[in-house]
Amino acid sequence: MVPFNTVYRKMMQNVHLAPENDEDDLYSGYNDYNPMFDTEDLENDVAFQQAARTSHGRRPPVTAKIPGSASSRPLATGFGPKTTLPSSMGRPMTGGIQDGVSRPMTAVQAAGYTKAAMRGSSFDPLGQARGPAPPLEKKNSDSPEEKLRQLEKKVNELVEESCVANSCGDLKLALEKAKEAGRQERELLRQREQITPPENINLDLTYSVLLNLASQYAANEMYAEALTTYQVIVKNKMFTSGGILKVNMGNIYLKQRNYSKAIKFYRMALDQITSAHKEMRMKIMENIGVAFIKTGQYVDAISSFEDIMSISPNLKAGFNLILCYFAVGNGEQMKKAFKKLIAVPLEVDFDDKYISLNDDLHTNLLLEAIKNDSISQMERERKSMAEEYIMTAAKLIAPVIETSFAVGYDWCVDAVKASHYVELANDLEINKATTYLRQQNFNQALETLKMFEKKDSRVKSAAATNLSFLYYLGNELAQATNYADLAVNSDRYNPAALTNKGNTVFANGDYEKAAEFYKEALRNDSLCTEALYNLGLAYKKLNRIDEALDFLLKLHAILPNSAQVLYQIASIYEIMEDPNQAIEWLLQLISVVPTDPRVLSKLGKLYDNEGDKSQAFHYYYESYRYFPSNIEVIEWLGAYYIDTQFCEKAIEYFERAALILPTQVKWQLMVASCYRRSGNYQKALEKYKVIHRKFPENVECLRFLVRLCTDMGLKEVQEYITKLKKVEKLKEIREQRIKSGRDGSARNRREGGGDSGGTKGERLSAKLKALPGTNEPYESRSSKEIDASYIDPLGPQAERPRTAARKRTEEDDFADEELGDDLLPE
């Protein structure tokens, strides 16, 4: 044993104290480290290398002097030169040499050291020398079990793909996948029966495949196949939950309108569902009630809905119960059912849930975020549905539960005010006014709406908006403006109120201001289609055509089938002198309203302006077919047949025009002219005689009578010549009186101003003298036009044959001098 003093002296040899006069080094000590972490000379450390090569090597004790060992390795410190340590780790060895035989070091065998026999191997504690691990053993894909597993996986994938296709709306693909899954499942069953006993069959897979196939058949309206598949499931006793599928079979029979079988299967399903499934039972009972309503068995339907309302009341069952009592005409039961309906809890605290009680920014942001989440949307939909049921039920029963509509509506309003739907009372009152409007009882509607002038701002704004609309329809713009102002002041964010205000300003001709109100309405509600349409009209009035077109095109994107919007767009393109675009939009319009005669005549006019007579005739004729009283269309069709040398067909249209306007001689003259152009002079003569009897002072008729009688050699010619001269003389006298009256009035104005024009009676007498005779229709012709030869509105005519044996007489000369040649009018 080495004495302690000897060891202490050796240790102190390596300790060097700093001189007292040395200054402190602020950066000393940073390079000092524990010598046991020194790894620089491990390659030269013989003891470490020997230990690394074998786990059986024994290291000498501290006092042993083994040449070339690590004891001669210097130790580096911050206080002196390197010195030696007994081992590379600075600790005594755990093993020793006994009789020249190395023994393994204890406590390190688990780290990878080997026995003495393996001393020559390298240090490999992780076993890396053995190489990579062998690959996993591949499964035998040819085994029957593996084939069955793969086939079962494929069946499940086909069922999933079928469900996904159905959810995406591709019903045909869903059915194909379901059929393929059925075929693969049957193949799986056949193979499994050959390998495993029958009790190992996967019944859940078979059930899911059959159920999916039946559902896809029903979705594709292949009801017979769906019912057959459902029967396979229901009749199989191995499917414990197959009885519930009778509900699906009842739904199919209901779609097929086989209501008796639907009720039968619903009741069978109801018998197989325990009372634990309360909600399911209520839904089946509701289906039974609906089926009874379809068959007209209202008493049985009432029994079903009454059971539902007593066990688990809901809005739909309550509304159907009211319908049943309405059908049987039981007013008292209607009242009770209505009370049950408004007593159904809504279970939505929509108003209080999202109200912030403090100014915490994080809480306010959270409330804003959840206001539009899916749950909030579901709550809004539920509340909207409840309001719709209650409002519809009130409008339905109000006229029959009391002696009058007003009393019945008042009862409904009082009942709603006593329920937790109290906010619907005002809406019911406004609906009451709307019902008065539908009944054309405007006074009652006005009185009802005026009751809301002292209500809260929202209701007041709605009532004032309706009042403004009523007065606007009655052309009482002052009252309409007053109530429009009241509506806007009550609720500045009401787009309907702003639109009505814009309408009143528009009616007064202030289109710029009206456009501002329409814009404000759109800022509050970008989907306010009325404001968007009116804004386009306002810009059209202001001749800002491009802006008007932009707004109307935006509205067309929202309402693609609106006839008014399509017509306005076509009208704007016509103003922009783009007939092709106008025609295109009008063609879209007639696809929406194919029987509108005005649109058809507009198309005909555009095609006529473009020179396409065939298309113009088509649309003018279609317009005439739907509305045969449009004079412009009749005139165009008659002129078209004249141009195409079909005068006989033109007669039909001019005769209709004469029936529509019997006091205008123009159309009857055209009928007679058509007879002349077609060579039927006898018919023409008869027609002119009829015209002369109706209009004895018509100069044109007399001239044609003289001409025809002369050409045909009739004796009445002298009589008509005399009448013609007499009528012309009367016209000259009238014209002279008119001329002298005009000259006298002008002379009086020059001499003494306006008072010298005669008395009021004299001026009225002069005006009457200037008018045509009592038997002569008014024609807008000047005296110069009357004196000139008559211009046939139907254009040049064929030469009239004259009798060769007859000599030319004075009447012939007179006729040629007066008539001259017929010309085509401009």
Between 150-154, 262-266, 447-451, 564-568, the lowest mean confidence (pLDDT) is in 447-451
Domain end call among 420, 442, 464: 442
Is 66 within a domain? no
d(Cα 593, Cα 561) in Å, to the nearest integer? 10
Is 406 within a domain? yes
Q: How many domains in the chain?
A: 3
Is 286 within a domain? no
Say if residue 698 is in the same domain as residue 732.
yes
User: Of residues 341 and 48, which shows the higher confidence score?
Assistant: 341
Nearest Cα neighbor of 555 from 528, 579, 580 is 528
Is 527 within a domain? yes
Domain span holding position 523: 452-549
- Decide: 338 and 400 in contact? Cβ < 8 Å: no
Q: pLDDT band for position 618 (50/70/90)?
A: very high
- Decide: 287 and 266 in contact? Cβ < 8 Å: yes
Nearest Cα neighbor of 407 from 331, 462, 460, 470 is 331
Tokens (6 digits) for 369: 């975020």
Q: What is the mean pLDDT of the chain?
A: 76
Collapsing DSSP to helix, strand or coil, 102 comes out as strand
Whether 816 shows a pLDDT value over 80: the answer reads no
Say if residue 461 is in the same domain as residue 407.
no
Q: Give tens-digit pLDDT for 546-561.
A: 999 999 999 999 999 9
Domain end call among 497, 531, 549: 549
> How do strand 97-98 and strand 101-102 relate by DSSP bridges?
antiparallel
Say if residue 327 is in the same domain as residue 436.
yes
- Compute, in degrees rounded to 10, the torsion defined by CA atoms 288, 291, 293, 296: -120
pLDDT for 195: 77
495-507 vs 477-490: helix axis angle to the nearest 10?
150
Say if residue 457 is in the same domain as residue 502.
yes
Percent of the chain with pLDDT over 70: 71
Percent of the chain with pLDDT over 90: 32
Collapsing DSSP to helix, strand or coil, 133 comes out as coil
Say if residue 400 is in the same domain as residue 479.
no
Whether 381 shows a pLDDT value over 50: the answer reads yes
Say if residue 331 is in the same domain as residue 438.
yes
Between 53-62, 232-241, 468-477, 736-745, the lowest mean confidence (pLDDT) is in 53-62
DSSP3 helix / strand / coil % (the chain, rounded to 5) = 70, 0, 30
Collapsing DSSP to helix, strand or coil, 97 comes out as strand
Cα–Cα distances in Å, from 604 out to 122, 196, 393, 583, 659? 105, 81, 50, 10, 24
Say if residue 318 is in the same domain as residue 422.
yes
Say if residue 697 is in the same domain as residue 677.
yes
Q: Dihedrals φ, ψ of 798, to 5°?
A: -70, 155
pLDDT for 471: 83
User: Of residues 445 and 782, which shows the higher confidence score?
Assistant: 445
Domain end call among 549, 568, 593: 549
Collapsing DSSP to helix, strand or coil, 506 comes out as helix
Q: Give tens-digit pLDDT for 715-735.
A: 888 888 888 888 888 888 888
Is 152 within a domain? no
Maximum mean pLDDT: which of 13-27, 87-101, 230-244, 625-639:
625-639
pLDDT for 216: 93
- Decide: 712 and 681 in contact? Cβ < 8 Å: yes
Is 86 within a domain? no
pLDDT for 129: 65
Is 281 within a domain? no
Q: Give tens-digit pLDDT for 757-806.
A: 444 444 434 433 343 333 333 333 333 332 333 333 333 333 333 333 33
pTM score of the predicted model: 0.54
Say if residue 417 is in the same domain as residue 471.
no
Say if residue 431 is in the same domain as residue 485.
no
Q: Dihedrals φ, ψ of 698, to 5°?
A: -80, 115
Say if residue 463 is in the same domain as residue 415.
no
Cα–Cα distances in Å, from 91 out to 44, 88, 455, 701? 18, 8, 99, 147
pLDDT for 290: 93
Q: How many CA atoms, within 13 angstroms, populate the side-chain half-sphere of residue 16? A: 9
Between 43-52, 405-414, 512-521, the lowest mean confidence (pLDDT) is in 43-52
What's 695's domain CATH number?
Answer: 1.25.40.10
Is 412 within a domain? yes
Say if residue 318 is in the same domain as residue 438.
yes
